[in-house]
Structure 1
Amino acid sequence: MFFRSTIKEIDAPLLQEWLEGKNGGTFRIIDVRSPQEIAGGSIPGAEPMPLNTVPLKLHEFDPKETYVFVCRSGARSAQACMFMQQRGFDNVYNLRGGMIGWSQTGGRISAMKQAV
């Protein structure tokens, strides 16, 4: 049996609008890169959570909340979105192009604390 899942995506300009409060709702940004990558900076307000720890921290997610997952290029964050969708989370978005796309569009990067 083949399951096809469509991952919702958000691009950097739209995410910037969301960060400015133009989406009319709240959301969390989850950065699934490695601690070494995250140490180089991330999107302001992003929460560090390396991809391999997402299943272990599933209990920290609320299915009613909205989440934007980000990684370097968008591949690992797409995996995180698929994982979450398979567990009944509907409001999960992949940042198209990841941090590469974010920085190419002039998105602000802030220093990050290490993932716990």
Structure 2
Amino acid sequence: MADLSQQEWQKQLANDDNAVIIDVRTQDEVDEGHIPNALHIDIFLGQGFMDEVKKLDTSKNYYVYCRSGGRSAQACAVMNSLGYDNTYNLMGGFSEWEGEKTN
């Protein structure tokens, strides 16, 4: 797992043809806005989160975010333990996101 600043995350994501964005926030938070094309998997689903993550391709690069960076760091750690080598945590999370947003 790598913790990336907002600028590092956006720059790396823009140049990554193998990227998948994952939003680990609750549905209510997602309904207030999200990063376009993000896959929503709520980390609070517990085992359900792990079951959904296990369906993903381990060869992809995963850019993970939540509201402020805490839950996404946990999600990256869980993903790493499940065999995902390339996970990137968005420090500051969606609350500091200055890139494109969708409601």
TM-score normalised by length of structure 1 = 0.77
Structure 1 residue identity aligned to 2:57: D
Matched with 1:15 is 9
Are residues 1:93 and 2:88 paired? yes
Secondary structure of 1:90 counterpart = coil
Matched with 1:43 is 35
Q: Cα gap change, 1:59/1:9 in structure 2, threshold over 3 Å: closer, same or farther?
A: same
**Alpha carbons 2:54, 2:82 under 8 Å: kept:** no
| Separation in 1, partners of 2:59, 2:18 | 11
| Separation in 1, partners of 2:34, 2:16 | 23
Instruction: Select which of 78, 82, 96 maps to 2:73.
Output: 78
Structure 1 position 24, deviation (Å): 4.2
Deviation per residue, 1:1-32 (Å, 9 max, x gap) = xxxxxx3122222332345x3x2432011000
Secondary structure of 1:54 counterpart = helix
Gaps of at least 5 residues in structure 1 are 1-6, 112-116
| Separation in 1, partners of 2:24, 2:3 | 15
Larger radius of gyration: 1
| Separation in 2, partners of 1:25, 1:88 | 20
